[in-house]
Amino acid sequence: MTPEEFRRHGHQAIDWIADFLENPARYPVLPSVKPGELTDALPASGPECGESMDRIFADFERLIVPAMTHWNHPGFLAYFANSSTGEGILGELFTAALNGNGMLWKTSPAVTELEQVALRWLREWSGLPESWFGLIYDTASTSSMHAIAAAREAADPDSRTKGARPGLVVYTSQQAHSSIEKGAIAVGIGQDYVRKIDVDDDYRMRPDALAAAIESDLAAGLRPCCVSATVGTTSTTSIDPIPAIADLCERHNLWLHVDTAYAGAAAILPEMRWAFAGCDRADSLVTNPHKWLLTPMDCSIFYTRRPDILRRAFSLIPEYLQTAQDPRAINLMDYGIPLGRRFRALKLWFILRSFGREALAARIRAHIEMAQTFAREIDAHPAFERVAPAPFSVVNFRYTGSDDDNRRILEKLNSTGEVFLSSTVLKNRFTLHLAVGNYGTTPQHIAKAWSLLKSAAGV
Amino acid sequence: MTPEEFRRHGHQAIDWIADFLENPARYPVLPSVKPGELTDALPASGPECGESMDRIFADFERLIVPAMTHWNHPGFLAYFANSSTGEGILGELFTAALNGNGMLWKTSPAVTELEQVALRWLREWSGLPESWFGLIYDTASTSSMHAIAAAREAADPDSRTKGARPGLVVYTSQQAHSSIEKGAIAVGIGQDYVRKIDVDDDYRMRPDALAAAIESDLAAGLRPCCVSATVGTTSTTSIDPIPAIADLCERHNLWLHVDTAYAGAAAILPEMRWAFAGCDRADSLVTNPHKWLLTPMDCSIFYTRRPDILRRAFSLIPEYLQTAQDPRAINLMDYGIPLGRRFRALKLWFILRSFGREALAARIRAHIEMAQTFAREIDAHPAFERVAPAPFSVVNFRYTGSDDDNRRILEKLNSTGEVFLSSTVLKNRFTLHLAVGNYGTTPQHIAKAWSLLKSAAGV
């Protein structure tokens, strides 16, 4: 494509996207395609000769868009809802055009430094210690794997050269995200050495159970190395008691990782800061702007007070990547697995500046209020019951019938194309899960979901 | 930003990028900024209230762009040069706007299926077995780490539950990318168990040395598990003898991973297919469209003949991600660390269709021809010498003086802002490294580099 063709098709694309952003609800939130349908509609082989972008765009509209689950639909109320705002989209556009790669400072000073600047801004807004170091990975799963690898390095510095040896133990709660277990598998700690600590009735890790598990492992000659606690667990957004957990970590010299992948965005609200008490005592923390901070996929921030350990675990500098040493020219490839580094900070910087802290906080605050209003509706209705506290913007609830009744209600609701809720299992019961987090979601969308729910339940 | 504001700023952005693509050489390829200069030019804290996009764009042009290393500059001849084409940029634009997340088929059928379709097309063009499974990760380092994790799983299925145990051994060559060693560190195999096999005079892994190392480790009671061979090594693009290595892997039941991160794109040229002989016998292979296939960062493809092993190593399905089982609705989160999955296939599909195989092959062919011409110039000039064969689009060479002379020449050359070459060390000598791979690079750019080189050397 020539630059002039890019100009023409680029303007078309911008108009298409502006129309889409004006009304993302024009498409059903969940597509009606069946598995394999898109695959079968596309040629089995790629074209020998090039095709026109007009034709490719036409197929994009005809085949791809209708096979999308529309995360940008304001009725997307499943998992952790998220958004790509105009600012974020433009950031990604420039990122793709400049195509910078921040493996070394030298291979793109702006990629390296803007990442540090944006992460410093957000760290300050979130009340995290000024001295912390941060960098961006693709997903929270990758960030948490790096936390566990750093914990392994801290507990067993020989593991880098001699390999992991059985007996290191990682602690997390029964409500933790599956990525903690996956990270422990990946770095060679093993599933048998992941303790999923009991939670209390509000789905929070029990410090007494954690203390007992650590003592028991120590008595068995094992080597506790890491606790991964969560502020905002995946099912219920429960808040583990970080101060008590931090006490235990200090006593036993364990790496404390805090997964705030979803809830971390709420730390910029003064009135929500209580939920993050004790996080400043963590060794590492993950927060994903691509979840609740209006940033398009992907952007997961990993903060750590101990970058030296992370660097010791992962730094390897081959001859072809040797550069002059300068304390202000950090090479981010030294701090993890990926060598190449996309300019992800640009979209985040656009968003932080264009919104400013107040407007970002106002949007998150509005999401929390919508969820609280919905929780009150559930609490007040005799045919529904709430299953967990709702400290943030997620509500877990059930129709007061069987699991199958609830499954049917969910299926009926989601087949409307107007809203998409997801489910989980809490105390062995199938549970409906409503998450507010999309930029465009308004109280009207929640009211619609509520009305559809009651109608699906026949009440 | 409202949709109308997005429309206005989006059109501005497209015009800016079209102008940029018309002449990416308007900026020096290497910026003149000093470490910390951009950081110091930006506020220490983020803004409380939002700022206008006009002001943000102005800062972007004034501060960010001049601090970029311009990978899109046609004089970018360092490392493995790459490009972001118009097609790829538009793909990323739609990806950001739709913001699909392909962790499960259900969370975006199009994200999941188009990835499979595009990877099937490319697999066929590359002459790889039809039965192979593929998926996209961010970088080759991540892909290769997954290969080593799969090898660990295949050799020691207990490692998932019981953790890695010392004694598994990974083999690669002295010329392999550092990510292989880093991957072995990450998954708990350890640096002491990575054998960097000797290379021959052409920097290719020596199968006799590999066989001897395996025998020696077996005799010592260790457990060889993986060979990572390379087609197109990072310094010299040397081609390991895959057929002989595959024989050894079969004999000893080792996982054969082939790193074709850079060179893999050349497999779509019939006349280059010889370089990939034996790759069809690999257990896994990585190829990065974001290197030589005109695709913006990031897009690294991991192909494997044994997806069942990868899945066994990484599948963990929590309650909140349970979906109906359907053999055509694969859930890509089951095949690796990252749970979230950006719609990276869209840009690749745009590129494969808009160019078609012939035009992509023609561009790669032209890059190879430019490098071969340059290699002949070096060979013919008495003041320069070539240091390694150049089977693809990379030439390694020296001025026939001291290492310091060569360092000075490189520094002088790169300070012009017209070209950017990198360096490596081969046979203990500082070596200049010229890589052709940018879409806009023409024979005139290579001639310019050659003329600047001679002038810097004073010959």
Cα B94 from Cα B99, distance rounded (Å): 8
Tell me whether residues B353 and A190 touch, CB distance under 8 A. no
Closest-approach residue (CA) in chain B for A157: B190
Q: Does position B318 have pLDDT exceeding 80, yes or no?
A: no
The set of residues, in sequence order, having a beta carbon less than 8 Å from that of A383 and lying 6+ positions away, is: A399, A400, A454, A457, A459
Cα A214 from Cα A43, distance rounded (Å): 56
Tell me whether residues B340 and A111 touch, CB distance under 8 A. no
Tell me whether residues A7 and B14 touch, CB distance under 8 A. yes
Q: Which residues of A touch B186 (CB under 8 A)?
A: 149, 186-187, 314, 337
Closest-approach residue (CA) in chain B for A345: B64
Give pLDDT, residue A421. 98
Q: Are A303 and A128 in contact (CB under 8 A)?
A: yes
Q: pLDDT-based confidence at A319, cuts 50/70/90? A: confident
Cα B249 from Cα B240, distance rounded (Å): 14
User: What average pLDDT does this structure show over A281-304?
Assistant: 98
Tell me whether residues A337 and B38 touch, CB distance under 8 A. no
Distance from the B249 Cα atom to the nearest Cα atom in chain A, whole angstroms = 22
Distance from the B93 Cα atom to the nearest Cα atom in chain A, whole angstroms = 5
Closest-approach residue (CA) in chain B for A82: B99
Cα B425 from Cα A448, distance rounded (Å): 65
A256-265 tens-digit pLDDT: 999 999 999 9
Q: Are A167 and A144 in contact (CB under 8 A)?
A: no
**Mutation site for A-interface testing, chosen from B27, B84, B99, B291 by largest number of A Cβ within 10 Å:** B99
Question: Nearest 5°: CA angle at A409, between A403 and A411?
Answer: 105
Q: Are B227 and B284 in contact (CB under 8 A)?
A: no
Tell me whether residues A36 and B354 touch, CB distance under 8 A. no
Q: pLDDT-based confidence at B143, cuts 50/70/90? A: very high
Q: Does position B437 have pLDDT exceeding 80, yes or no?
A: yes
Q: Which residues of B touch A110 (CB under 8 A)?
A: 31, 38, 63-65, 67-68
ipTM: 0.97
CA atoms within 13 A on the CB side of A37: 16
Tell me whether residues B18 and A7 touch, CB distance under 8 A. yes
Q: How far is CA B338 from CA A52, A184, A380, A421, B229, in A?
A: 34, 14, 40, 23, 25
Give pLDDT, residue B324. 73
B15-61 tens-digit pLDDT: 999 999 999 999 999 999 999 999 999 999 999 999 999 999 999 99
Q: Which residues of A touch B293 (CB under 8 A)?
A: none
Q: Which residues of A touch B342 (CB under 8 A)?
A: 138, 297-298
Tell me whether residues A189 and B193 touch, CB distance under 8 A. no
Could you tell me the two tokens for B211? 């066989």
Nearest-CB residue to A14 (from B7, B164, B177): B7
Kindly report the length of chain B. Answer: 459
Helices (H), ranges, A30-73:
37-41, 53-59
User: For residue B190, which of B214, B222, B210, B165 has the smallest C-alpha distance?
Assistant: B165
Q: Which residues of A touch B185 (CB under 8 A)?
A: 160, 313-314, 316
Tell me whether residues B168 and A165 touch, CB distance under 8 A. no
Q: Which residues of B touch A69 (CB under 8 A)?
A: 100-101, 106-109
Cα B185 from Cα B194, distance rounded (Å): 9
Q: Which residues of B touch A317 (CB under 8 A)?
A: 178
A205-255 tens-digit pLDDT: 999 999 999 999 999 999 999 999 999 999 999 999 999 999 999 999 999
Q: pLDDT-based confidence at B224, cuts 50/70/90? A: very high
Residue with the two structure tokens 């799969």:
B150
> Chain A to chain B, count of Cβ pairs less than 8 Å apart?
501
Q: Which residues of A touch B316 (CB under 8 A)?
A: 178, 181-182, 185
Could you tell me the two tokens for A156? 């067993």
B319-346 tens-digit pLDDT: 777 777 788 899 999 999 999 999 999 9
User: For residue B310, which of B87, B142, B77, B445 has the smallest C-alpha distance?
Assistant: B142
B399-414 tens-digit pLDDT: 999 999 999 999 999 9
Q: pLDDT-based confidence at A441, cuts 50/70/90? A: very high
> How are the residues of chain A apportioned to helix, strand and coil, as percentages rounded to the nearest 5?
50, 15, 35
Q: Indicate the DSSP class of residue A167.
A: T
Please provide the average confidence, as pLDDT, over all residues in chain A. 97
Q: Are B132 and A54 in contact (CB under 8 A)?
A: no
Give pLDDT, residue A317. 81
Give pLDDT, residue B326. 81
User: What average pLDDT does this structure show over A409-421?
Assistant: 97
User: How many CB atoms lie under 10 A from the CB of residue A426?
Assistant: 19
Q: Which residues of B touch A338 (CB under 8 A)?
A: 138-139, 141-142
Q: Does position A325 have pLDDT exceeding 80, yes or no?
A: no
Q: pLDDT-based confidence at A316, cuts 50/70/90? A: confident
**Mutation site for A-interface testing, chosen from B6, B233, B299 by largest number of A Cβ within 10 Å:** B6
Tell me whether residues B46 and A109 touch, CB distance under 8 A. no
Give pLDDT, residue A128. 98
Tell me whether residues B160 and A185 touch, CB distance under 8 A. yes
- Specify whether the backbone of B262 is left (phi greater than 0), alpha (psi in -120 to 50) or beta: alpha
Question: Nearest 5°: CA angle at B383, between B380 and B387?
Answer: 70
Give pLDDT, residue B327. 82
Nearest-CB residue to A354 (from B1, B69, B162): B1
Nearest-CB residue to B67 (from A37, A56, A113): A113
Q: Which residues of B touch A33 (CB under 8 A)?
A: 109
